[in-house]
Structure 1
């Protein structure tokens, strides 16, 4: 649990989009972190999720009208706007954002929005053609100019059956944005620290169309980078070719291709880095010569002469100062712990995160991982966890070592 959200007052405005069903999970995640949650629903949103569901999860009555029809009690939009530490509009439909951008006030939610003195966070959700329409783009830009935080829509399959950008950010990503927002105003353990993370595979060219690579997806590295950023660090990812992205705006991505590219990018930044995490699956060997033209098929076998690449973690370990924290990764199939312990000294890292391909759910391509945190002091075995949770454990270990 992140203590940043404990006691924070979160006002959620739910509008009439299919993504409204996801708000149940968002409320649960906020309550799990001990935030106070109050919801305002538009009439249209009730077609997608019931007020009873959200009232039960939030432990507060859900509001949608200015007055309670049974008691006549007035739901003051002014008091609601003053109560909140943060207002979240999710899902934010094209219609609602148009109202917000132009000051239209035709329901309790809009009246509360116009009265709110707290920061406002917006999670757009609509079909892809609506999302890319110039009027929607203009309205989002206008809302950003008001100082509102936009939690960008995500790509994927939409309710229409089309595939593209327009999905509301997943509740976990909205939580990340909320934590990041509050983290900016509170003490974070890695605030002011610079972190470098290597992630993904490298591609070693044979000729213009062929290359040698591996199955690393970069998911673990990006999860660690996001968690470092959430804890206040200024993070740079040196990334091989991957299809993942960061949820944190304060993370800088440097795209590379080969092991040599990665070495040069890391070497350039290492001296000014406080924390360095080597998660990338860097090729150990690369072709000695790269053909400038496509190699034609011939009868018989073909051999490719290979040369050793630079061991990035080992080379940086030789430069490491006592003020720097470095973390190595090991993916092993045999003598796992012995090999991981050997890397502690060989690469001069503070601890090694060991992946064993013998463990179900670990290794490349999974959304989970089963790791051991190996240091000179101890070996800590973690259960099978999501990569996000593994990243939290790894960053916790870094924070403890930073003192």
Structure 2
């Protein structure tokens, strides 16, 4: 149960876009007001087709802002004022259209302009048809927004207004309130202050020749999200990352590497630094093998068939960091990307590697775990298994960081 005490006295700007789920926003406003939150609302033209400005105004007891060209409001640069006076901007429902406009930086109505002009944090509650949510364009837009620090709650699975079933239902008002409360709680807490964390992320690239390499489909999204979440809780984070297309997470020292051996060297350097590492999270998808004798010249077809590639094992970074000794971090967490019998295989891996926790997930074809925005994980400890529901990778990172903070506090 999330503590709602952090909500008292906070100011939320609620952007209501055009979707059938907009009706839930009336209950959301009422419940936020009950918890001491001041709510202002921006209602899009499409949103006003689902809920009336009068209903929203009655519940917020404030002006409902709708028009970018309002002379009264814009004489005071209203869109700038709205974007800066809130503690948090919540977009609910966040439609596919508005997410796309946010991702591309458009400012063609008041809602989009406020979101582009703000320097405040943003939380979105997506709501749309399942096919729209799963479309690569929407997934790419959501991924880009999350990389910029936009938070997300939902969408949930269920039957929709169009009678299709799947992810796309907007989160319920109390779920959104929990997410808002969690944001304000985290923003004022630094339970990992004074702790040093090492996180690995992304794939490794093992060269075959100067232009080819062995790799995997890891995007690095989960590892980067964990690093950002640990930094947000006050940890001094070193992120050792293989090649990704992601921006460096805020508040982290990033060491860029390509191969598994380079990653091991960077991890050992961090572990053996003057200030010891308290927490190590090995989220990188390290290649198990490399070519034993990579060519220093590009391999070419010569009519004699493909070259034989002799493989040799890469160093085991997780097992190395888990070894007992004075420099071993107090908490070592590994990841197990599995394609079958996930929990049993990961449980055996935890015992074999000697780490404290394993975060297991299913990366079988069709799961979209690699490269996607969502993850379904199982936390395996010595005392049992905790299975989490499917959620965004940022949410997984935040929840894992909270679990780490609770463990460290014990």
Once the two structures are TM-superposed, the CA of residue 335 in structure 1 deviates from its matched residue by 5.7
Q: 1:222 and 1:35 mapped to 2: Cα distance?
A: 34
Could you tell me the TM-score, scaled by structure 1's length?
A: 0.64
Aligned with residue 379 of structure 1, among 377, 385, 391: 385
Residue 294 to residue 40, structure 1, CA distance change in 2 (3 Å): same
Supply the distance in 2 between the matched residues of 1:9 and 1:380 (Cα, whole angstroms).
Answer: 33
SS in 2 for 1:310: coil
- C-alpha deviations, 1:176-227, integer Å up to 9, x for none? 999777745x333323322221111110111121111011122221232233
**Aligned-partner Cα distance in 2 for 1:322–1:399:** 18
CA contact (8 A) 1:362 1:370 kept: no
CA distance in 2, matches of 1:214, 1:110: 44
Q: Which residue number corresponds to residue 13 of structure 2?
A: 12
Answering whether residue 152 of structure 2 is matched by residue 172 of structure 1, we say: yes
* Distance of 2:192 and 2:34 partners within structure 1: 21
Partner of 1:216: 218
Task: Give the gaps of 5 or more residues in structure 2.
Answer: 92-100, 109-116, 123-135, 139-143, 154-176
Cα 1:40–1:57, aligned 2, differ >3 Å: closer, same or farther? Answer: closer
**Could you tell me which of 350, 353, 356 is aligned with 2:359?**
353
Q: Which has the larger radius of gyration?
A: 1
Structural mapping, 1:66-215, within 5 Å: 105=76, 170=150, 172=152, 183=186, 186-215=188-217
1:101-147 Cα deviation digits (max 9, x unpaired): xxx7366x777899x7x9799x996976999xxxxxxxx8xx9xxxx
Aligned CA distance change for structure 1 residues 12 and 390 (closer, same or farther; 3 Å): closer
The 8 Å contact of residues 361 and 370 in structure 1, kept in 2 or not, is answered as no
Between 1:302-311 and 1:382-391, the stretch displaced more is 382-391
Q: State whether structure 2 residue 296 is matched by structure 1 residue 292.
A: yes
Q: TM-score, normalised by structure 2?
A: 0.63
- State the alpha-carbon separation in 1 of the partners of residues 210 and 52 from structure 2: 60
Greater relative contact order, per chain length (Cα 8 Å cut-off, separation 6+):
2
Pick closer, same or farther for the CA change 1:11–1:294 going to 2, 3 Å: same
> Do the aligned partners of residues 244 and 377 (structure 1) sit closer, same or farther apart at CA in structure 2, a change above 3 Å counting?
same
| Secondary structure, aligned partner of 2:197 | strand
Residues 291 and 380 of structure 1: is their aligned pair in 2 closer, same or farther, counting only changes over 3 Å?
same
1:88 matched residue in structure 2: none
Quickly say closer, same or farther: Cα 1:227–1:301, change in 2 above 3 A: same
What is the match of residue 349 of structure 2? 343
Distance change >3 Å, CA 48–CA 292, structure 1 → 2: same
Q: Give matches, 1:310-325, under 5 Å.
A: 310-318=315-323, 319=325, 324-325=330-331
Which range is displaced more, 28-37 or 346-355?
28-37
Cα deviation, 1:277-314, whole Å, max 9, x if unaligned, reads 11111011112222222111122231012222111111
Rounded Cα–Cα distance in structure 1 between residues aligned with 2:306 and 2:38: 67
Unaligned runs of 5+ residues in structure 1 are: 66-90, 132-139, 159-163
Specify whether residues 10 and 150 from structure 1 end up closer, same or farther in structure 2 by C-alpha distance, changes over 3 A only.
Answer: closer
- Number of equivalent positions: 339
Distance 1:33 1:259 in 2: 53
- For the 8 Å contact 2:223–2:283, the answer to whether it is kept is yes
1:120/1:306 CA distance change after superposition, 3 Å: closer
* 1:355-396 alpha-carbon deviations (Å, 9 max, x no partner): 244697374233333332222211223344433343344334
In 2: Cα distance, 1:347 partner to 1:204 partner: 22
Q: By how many angstroms is 1:10 displaced?
A: 0.9
After TM superposition, give the deviation of residue 21 of structure 1 in Å.
6.3
| Map of 2:375 onto structure 1 | 369
Match of 2:287 in 1: 283
Tell me which moved more, 45-54 or 309-318.
45-54
**Distance between the aligned counterparts of 2:330 and 2:34, measured in 1?**
32
The answer to whether the Cα contact below 8 Å between 1:26 and 1:171 also exists between their aligned partners in 2 is: no
